[in-house]
Structure 1
Amino acid sequence: MSKVTIQAPANIAFIKYWGRLDHKLFLPLNNNISMTLSSCTTTTTAELINGPSNMVEVKFLGKEYTQLTSDSINARNIFDQITRIKTLAKLDRSVHVKSENNFPADAGIASSASGFAALTGVLLLVYGLHALYEDKKEFSRQVRLCGSGSAVRSVYGGFVEMFAGHDHESSYANQVADEHHWDLVDIVAIVNADKKKISSSEGHELAETSPLLTARIEHTKKQFPIVRDAIVNKDFQTLGEALELESTSMHAVMMTQNPPAFYWGPGSISIMNQIRELREQKGILAYTTFDAGANAHVICQKKDAATIEHLMQKNPFVKSTIYNEPAPGAHEVSNHLF
């Protein structure tokens, strides 16, 4: 087959998960729900090649292409996914993969989500597994096996839920509403683009050492339907209050695991205080949420987005901002990377 290129968005979780039920199947401890991000994407091109070895090249924002090998740091999941999908297809051909993203990696903006969704999509298509790609539920299962539960939510556009499940079949993504449903905006405020010291993958394994984990899981069970209904009904205040509390709850687990993970920095706290003051003093509804990183996602309504972005750009801790609206999920594009 000729070249295939997939573009996939990152996503920001409103109900998050931290910790896994099964580390081999990458099953999360709780159901979760997110919004896809229009300006944070990974583009991946693949083509079958002759020869005994796969060729994988990746490029992160502001850096040059790097060729990975199976023993490269953090590359195991990529090569394992190639082997697994090759086996599914019963096709013993090597593949050339080239991938790049347009936002900071390993900094709490879900680069693995967009990356693994794009990778899995091109592999399914280039190896001829079109039925698995077209069935979005099955596509999301295949993405999860690449190593990230969050990545399944990048298969669909708009607002997407992931069912934690208890086995491979019961853990998958489902679209709650498409990208045209609600004009929310996520202003990502970059305060630290450096790679985090404790990766999300490592953090998921440490979560069970936190004395707060059990209480958090019970809390997310109650919050999940509230957030889902708020999305369906476009109830922004309910959504905002819930997602802000949810983010703080997850970081409390991170900070009390062993060893602890302190992802927030002075800039993170500054933005939280700034947004809270904006609500209290000017009545503008905006809310902060953080994945596993220091960078803030400020969720607001489109009518307030220019005000929020200007406010973030004036914050001395903020190096840059990224404006995002709800986006389409993983999809084919015609502009190949090679």
Structure 2
Amino acid sequence: MIAFIIRRLVQSIGVLLFTSVLVFFGVFAIGDPIQILVPADASPAEIAQATHSLGLDLPMWQQYVHFIGHALHGDLGHSFVFNQPSIQLILERLPATLELALIALVLSLLVGVPLGLLAGLKANSALDRTVMTGSILGFSLPNFWQGTMLVLIFSVTLGWLPSAGRGELGTVLGIHTSLATWDGVTHLLLPALNLSLFKMSLVTRLTRAGVRETLPLDYVKFARAKGLRERRVIFVHVLKNIMIPIVTVVGMEFGSLIAFATVTESIFAWPGVGKLIIDSIMKLDRPVVVAYLLIVVTMFTVLNLLVDIIYSVLDPRVRLEAA
């Protein structure tokens, strides 16, 4: 186990280094932030001074070397626009994104697993066809269109839920969260639902496929032959054995929920990292974009490692040392 974790950590460092090269040169080769940061009537001397102060007058490879040197000490650069450490800006907004992603993930599991289980147990029935049709819609409908429709129906037409913002925050165990107040919960529902629809469809179809593959197996038939109650057969012998692929998807999709919450946060004006990145891209705030992408890659790498470890807990047959 220890050898596996060490090997994966070394691989992760290599991935992060390679990603940093791609991200840095890709982002820093696009556009000129000086044209946005300085006034239109700035003199050549003022432009040269601003370029020098930001280090943009250095060759690209020197800028990268400086970036890596500072990154090793936990400094991912200063924002051109806010004049603050990039990582500080991201961490200030990360709790809102994590909250949104976590609730979206919970919704996708609470709805997707039961629907997939019912569809798998009632294969080729009207319920199965209805659930599968709904999952296809969840896959197919664009995220921004879904968000617009949710706002139009539940905020504009019915007036049940607010359409923008995070609402009033409360404190639970020292954590500021929207879940601590009713106003915060109402603000959270629509963006979380919009973000969860695709994952909900994915979990539904994955659960259904797992149930259909597991039901004909010998150990399920043997459990029924022993006279076990159907509920025990389903929840102990079937559901437990299909949890490994579900855990894999959930682990990876949680990272994608955080990374790709940008559209949802923009539609619902949710003050998270996604909205910050959109603003930074528009203003060519390169250090913030690079820092965000590297943090996301790190998050995916850590989640991969955690998923592999959870594998061994759910199924002892999995040998991490052989990975």
TM over 0.5: no
TM range (shorter): under 0.3
Which structure dedicates a bigger proportion of its chain to helix?
2
Which structure dedicates a bigger proportion of its chain to strand?
1
Normalising by structure 2, we get a TM-score of: 0.26
Larger Rg: 2
Normalising by structure 1, we get a TM-score of: 0.25
